[in-house]
Amino acid sequence: MITNNLRAELFALRRRPGVLAMAGMWSTQVVVFAYLVPYIVYLTQGSSMAPAVAADMISGLLPEGAHYYVAGALPTFGGPVMLVIGALLATGDYRWGTLRTVLGRQSDRGAFLGGRFLGLLVALLPVATVTLVLGLLSSGVIAMVNASPARYGDVGVIALELGSLWLVMAAWGAVGFAIGMLTRSPVAAIVVGLLWTVLAENALALLANVVPGLGFLSTLLLGNSSNRLAAALGSEPITITGAFGAQPQGTPLLAVAVLITYIAAAFLVSHTALRRRDVT
Amino acid sequence: MPQVDMQGLTFGYRGRPVIEGLTLSFGTGVHGLLGPNGAGKTTLMRMLATVNRPSSGTLTVLGDPLRSEHGLRSVRRRLGYLPQTFGFYPRFTVREFVEYFAWLKEVPRELVNSDVDRAIERVGLGDRADDRLKTLSGGMLRRVGIAQAIVNDPEVLLLDEPTAGLDPEQRMDFRVLLRDLGQDNCVIVSTHLIEDVAAACTAVTLIDRGRRVFQGTPDQLIAAGDTDVGGDTPVERGYTTVLRAYRATT
């Protein structure tokens, strides 16, 4: 039953321009802001940097750093994009007034929501793959331009990065989906989601750092867990201003568990909202 | 055995009764559901579509009492429903929209394409199948709504104001479609357009303030008409006479 629902949602995704536009925007971000701009900075400012800093910078941009570099950019730059994708997917039926029609066609409302939620998770797999491929290609081009050797990590490491990228994207997307289901408005969901993940999470992380006994709080945050997973692959946290770039807390395994918990909790919240409020 | 059977059905919004102790049954054929604004027609349709659950009474659809989750799922698979307010995805084409609902309705994979094409042809939109929904008129959108409701050949088809927005020629075509659908299935049509009922329905049910006023054939409704009550057509006179007589007694 859920297979049909999943098929329906994947079919419908082709006609969701907002979702496709966000995925395209993220792909552009990867090429432009993760590779092109830093490489231009390296070319123009590298000689004035400390040698160790310049070496670190270029090693991330070359194929040898491709297995961790994009993962490092994901929590700060890609996470909010995935959150928006989740919110758009969840709120489409409220926006177009199609929920009643759709639910009237459903034999099982849980399967409907499950299909849509699963559709989001499945759809993020090609997004993660494209992200990784763009990273590998961009680093290859930089190696060529820079006349550096193109030494990629082995397949296992790259597969691990793909899995990590997908898990982080899925967790952020799922949170966006749940907020979308709660607010029923794409704009409200995006505003609430971004306020939470960008401001509230960082305020809580700051609190956890300064108040004794609250250190564990950091390990439960979406941003921290995403950064921790990226760090496990070898990345330093990549931030907008540097202010949010504190070293992530916890172990990689805990980070994976936290991210999976976010996904499961997001589904439960969405399901409860639909059952209690939107259907009888 | 009737496809739809309700005994003492009751439903209310925030303490205000909308359906009060309704006892009705519908079998194979086209059933017109008539009533003035606020009579409870849409609420009744929503209960039949399992969107709203009755406060009390029993509702049995296709032999399944709609109490358990299993019963609801079983019935929903065999229902078709066009709500009064019909939302749509503007960027979808007609074919994509109907196909999306075919998947949701668990139509077997190998039948999806043929069933979608057939549903679109039946509502006369074969030549617009690849047009985006945002480019269609209100009447065409209504027909798309009907196509999504019939794509899985439902045994019980619920159409809430299906002819709203259709032009006279489209309404005539729609009546032909209704008669066709009603040959083997139970079709319940809620409408204000009583000419459609007289022309296409095999049975008529008139409700007012959530109670049954009349159930019979269109000819019986027409026969009940009193020329003194006004109305331009025999069925209008029948409708008005029966309704006023009922109100006079309550």
User: What gap in Å lies between CA B118 and CA B129, rounded to an integer?
Assistant: 11
A181 to chain B, closest Cα gap in Å: 18
For residue A86, pLDDT beyond 80 = yes
* Spatial CB neighbours of A155, under 8 Å, sequence gap ≥ 6: none
Helix (H) / strand (E) element for A272: namely helix A252-273
Quick: pLDDT tens for A121-163. Answer: 999 999 999 999 999 999 999 999 988 888 888 888 889 989 9
User: What gap in Å lies between CA A226 and CA A135, rounded to an integer?
Assistant: 18
Give how far Cα B197 sits from Cα of B16, B49, B129, B203, Å.
Answer: 29, 21, 29, 8
Quick: pLDDT tens for B164-184. Answer: 777 888 888 888 888 888 988
Quick: pLDDT tens for B4-51. Answer: 999 999 998 877 889 999 999 999 999 999 999 989 999 999 899 888
Average pLDDT rounded to a whole number, residues B202-215 = 94
Give how far Cα A113 sits from Cα of A5, A161, A195, A275, Å.
Answer: 8, 29, 25, 10
Phi and psi angles of residue A189, each rounded to the nearest 5 degrees, phi first: -65, -40
- Of B163, B220, B221, B226, which is closest to residue B196 (Cα–Cα)? B163
Quick: pLDDT tens for A251-272. Answer: 889 999 999 999 999 999 999 9
A262 to chain B, closest Cα gap in Å: 27
Structural Rg of chain B based on CA atoms: 18
What sign for the dihedral angle of Cα B42, B44, B45, B47?
positive
Query: What ipTM, to 2 d.p.?
Result: 0.74
Written as six digits, the tokens of A177 are 């989906």
Label residue A240 by pLDDT band (50, 70, 90): very low
Nearest-by-CA chain B residue for A102: B101
Would an 8 Å CB–CB cutoff place B161 in contact with chain A? no
Distance of CA A30 to the CA centre of its chain: 12
With contact defined as beta carbons under 8 Å apart, do B45 and B33 qualify? yes
Strand B79-82 with B64-65, pairing: unpaired
For residue B76, pLDDT beyond 90 = no
Would an 8 Å CB–CB cutoff place A242 in contact with chain B? no
> In A, residues 70-129, which contact B (CB 8 Å cutoff)?
92-93, 96-108, 112
For the entire predicted model, the pTM comes to 0.80
